[in-house]
């Protein structure tokens, strides 16, 4: 049961569907039709047209995984920097999953949730003038994946137990409220410090593709604007987007 708006501003209105094309598309329709409320959670048991980073599709077996979108009215956030909202949401997903995996959870730049060296979920942030949409997908019970996916894993594969996707969603929502309150009361720096501490691959070198070129890059960190700090041939650089990782596991 949802708490009062003051106790639980995120998730006070929780709407569930058995099947939709994309919760982000549906949330966008709500905004266009004037139906959106700050803190809306749109949850689907099955997405038929889910999307991930860089336009990639996110395939999911019916009823097996978590697919949700958070609607945020930008004016109600502590600041208007999209990276800050992304960090707040990523940490919320991390916290909810870490409680089940008992460790080995990481945040891979820019918006992936990793267990060890395998992807368990990811976020997709879309910003508009007055609204932001945060899509979150997490592999919960699925054990068979498209062979084209390089390194997927599910919570069931990690723990050996089935979990209810809706229950995990509520755990994410609870964590979202806690991290949003921390952001409001203590500023963004503590969230950034935590994000950096949980950054996947820090001080490791990975094979990556950038602008069509294969190269080896060493991960150094993330700056205050959300750019990835890397080292290439002993020279420091910052990357804003467009990086494809090659991760062996």
Confidence of residue 3 (pLDDT cuts 50, 70, 90): very low
Q: List, in sequence order, every residue forming a beta bridge with 44; answer none if it has no partner.
A: 17, 67
Residue of 52 and 89 predicted with greater confidence: 89
Q: Are residues 184 and 141 in the same domain?
A: yes
Q: Are residues 138 and 51 in the same domain?
A: yes
* CA neighbor of 249 nearest in space, from 118, 68, 90: 118
Q: Are residues 183 and 213 in the same domain?
A: no
Q: How many domains does the chain divide into?
A: 2
Average pLDDT over residues 8-35: 93
Is the pLDDT at 8 greater than 80, yes or no?
Answer: no
- The C-alpha atoms of residue 39 and residue 27 are separated, in whole angstroms, by 11
Specify the CATH number for the domain of residue 221. Answer: 2.30.30
Domain extent at residue 240: 205-246
Is the pLDDT at 53 greater than 50, yes or no?
Answer: no
* Core vs surface per residue 11-50: b (16+ CB within 10 A) or e: bbebeeeeebebbbbbbbebbeeeebebbbbbbbbbbeeb
- 102-145 pLDDT tens trace: 899 999 999 999 999 999 999 999 999 999 999 999 999 999 99
């Amino acid at each position: 049961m949802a708490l009062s708006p003051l106790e639980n501003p995120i998730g006070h209105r929780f709407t569930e569907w058995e099947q939709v094309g994309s919760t982000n598309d549906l949330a966008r329709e709500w905004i266009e039709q004037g139906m959106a409320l700050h803190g809306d959670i749109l949850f689907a048991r099955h997405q038929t047209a889910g999307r991930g980073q860089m336009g990639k599709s996110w395939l999911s077996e019916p009823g097996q995984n978590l697919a949700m979108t958070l609607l945020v009215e930008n004016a109600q956030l502590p600041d208007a920097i999209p990276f800050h909202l992304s960090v707040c949401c990523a940490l919320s997903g991390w916290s909810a999953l870490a409680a089940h995996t008992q460790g080995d959870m990481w945040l891979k730049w820019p918006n992936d949730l990793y267990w060890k060296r395998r992807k368990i979920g990811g976020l997709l942030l879309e910003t508009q003038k007055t609204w932001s949409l945060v899509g979150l997908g997490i592999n919960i019970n699925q054990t068979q994946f498209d062979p084209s996916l390089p390194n997927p894993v599910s919570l069931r594969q990690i723990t050996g137990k089935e979990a209810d996707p809706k229950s995990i969603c509520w755990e994410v929502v609870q964590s979202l409220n806690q991290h949003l309150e921390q952001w409001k009361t203590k500023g963004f720096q503590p969230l950034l410090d935590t994000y950096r501490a949980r950054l996947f691959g820090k001080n490791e070198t990975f094979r990556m593709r950038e602008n069509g070129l294969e190269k080896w890059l060493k991960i150094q960190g993330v700056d205050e604007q959300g750019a990835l700090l890397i080292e290439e041939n002993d020279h420091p650089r910052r990357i804003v987007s467009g990086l494809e990782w090659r991760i062996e596991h």
